[in-house]
Chains A and B, each alone.
Chain A
Amino acid sequence: MTLPRRWLDDDGASSAVRDVLRSDRSMDPPDGAEDAVWLGLAAKIAAGAAVTAASVGTAKTAAAATTTVATSTAATGTTATAVASGGLLKSILIGAFGGVIAVTGYTAIAPSSAPEPARAAAVVAPPAVKDLPVSPGSKGVSRSGDEVLAPRKDEPSVVPPSAADAPPSSGAPPSSTAASTSSAAPIDAPPASTDASGAAAPAPGSPEERASRLREESDMLNQARAALRGGDTAGTMRLLEQARQKFPGGVLGQEREALAIEALAKSGARAEASSRAAAFIQAHPNSPHAARLQVFVQK
């Protein structure tokens, strides 16, 4: 038995079908995604390896891991020097997070907005430029910007489940959360200090202790990011606040603030997002996040 001809190879197939199948080119990874994901991956592996290596008594794996990270960081043309000079894991993680965050959902920002960090520009380059689906115009799917956007509202009717998935929180006003966040600042909260009590617990300040705290901090931020992607801006702010309390001077402070700004903007608190983004950029002009946070700054 033979399979039918592939629709894309079959001139007899309906052009509507072929047009929509061609849209799959938009499912290719955008420029820079490969390196950005690699950085995140290498950081995770390095963090794991650091713990293992320290407890087993050999630093080989960790060294190997970090070397690779440094190499590929250099390859993407970013913070090679920062990585090379002390604060290894920190730089790695920041770079990695910057990369991954930038890739996830930011493909829409034009590179022209990023004059300075080469990596940000690469990551952000819109795939649309390269692989524009030529198609749907003829099919009445899209003729002008307005019409393009209009059908989307009804589009979920094609897929029954998504109707039930309707966003619960688009109208929710978490600006109150935001306000409480910025006003209440329990800086003296000493949360994780019990770590040192256990006999087997790693000594405070030791590499393995730092690595495990890093992992915990990054887990918390990952949860916050997941909440944000899910549209739950209030939950995002709550998780970020927990992370801030637990890790007041956390290594991933920049990532935390960047996520908070994004959540604020998404929740409608544009003014606060703008002022915090401006403050962030002033404080960290060379941060991988600076370029993309620029879009939140209101002129």
Chain B
Amino acid sequence: MPELDAFEAVYREHFRFVWRSLRRLGVPESDVADAAQDVFMVVHRRLDEFEGRSKVTTWLYGICFNVARDRKKLAHNRRRSDDDAPIDDAADERVDIAAEAERRQGMHLLESLLDALSEEQRAVFTLYELDGLGGEAIAEMLEIPIGTVHSRLRLAREAFERNLKRFHARDRFRLASAGGET
């Protein structure tokens, strides 16, 4: 077992990274605290063996990727995350509902667009577009050739734009009750 100090140092430094990575890899808001705990339980178990063979973030991201994938399998037949936020309906008298709804709306749109990508494309896409990593760094983190980074990013972007257009087309159709283009 690692010293708790060493473990806590890793935790404090990378908690935010782990949380965001899990979210971007598809762990819903309602599950992410549990998932983050799972990730750091693995870290705690394996910190002694880690010994800096790669960058900490590379190691952590790999764990996040696996945890997110396992949870997705488990949650396969669960409801969408906005439905399982348990007491939204009971609590909403106390919340700025419109602002909260708008925030959730944007977030859910982003989530569903990301959900439509394969896990591999999603990882490349979010690391590049949202985390601002460079191609080399992504290749290293995911242990894939740089050419694969390029091709996955291209495919992910195409799918993302296509699905977003489709979403807005439907949206316009619904709001204006006029024929939207497809």
Contacts and interface: CB of A to CB of B under 8 A. Distances in A.
Interface of A: 1-4, 6-8, 14, 16-17, 19-24, 26-29, 33-34, 36-38, 40-41, 44-45, 49, 52, 61, 64-65, 68, 100, 103-110, 112-113, 126-128, 132-133, 135-137, 139-145, 147-152, 154-162, 165-168, 170, 222, 228-231, 262, 265-266, 270, 292, 295-296
A65 B4 contact: yes
Contacts of B4: 45, 64-65, 68
Nearest to A34: B15
A100 B135 contact: no
Nearest to B34: A104
Contact of A128 (B79, B99, B110, B147): B99
Contact of B92 (A100, A108, A132, A133): A108
A72 B78 CA distance: 34
B37 A145 contact: no
Given A3-B128, A151-B171, A128 B16 contact: no
B116 interface: yes
A3 to B, nearest CB: 5
Interface in B145-159: 146-147, 149-150, 153, 157
B19 A159 contact: no
B178 interface: no
Most A C-beta atoms less than 10 A away, residue of B11, B76, B146: B11
A231 B161 contact: no
Interface residues of B, number: 86
Contacts of A40: 33, 37
Nearest to B8: A68
A21 B168 CA distance: 15
Which of B86, B98, B126 counts the most chain A CB atoms within 10 A? B86
Interface in B81-140: 82-88, 90-92, 94-110, 112-113, 115-116, 126, 128-130, 132, 134-135
A225 B156 CA distance: 34
Contacts of A126: 95-96, 100
Given A17-B160, A20-B113, A230-B79, A152 B86 contact: no
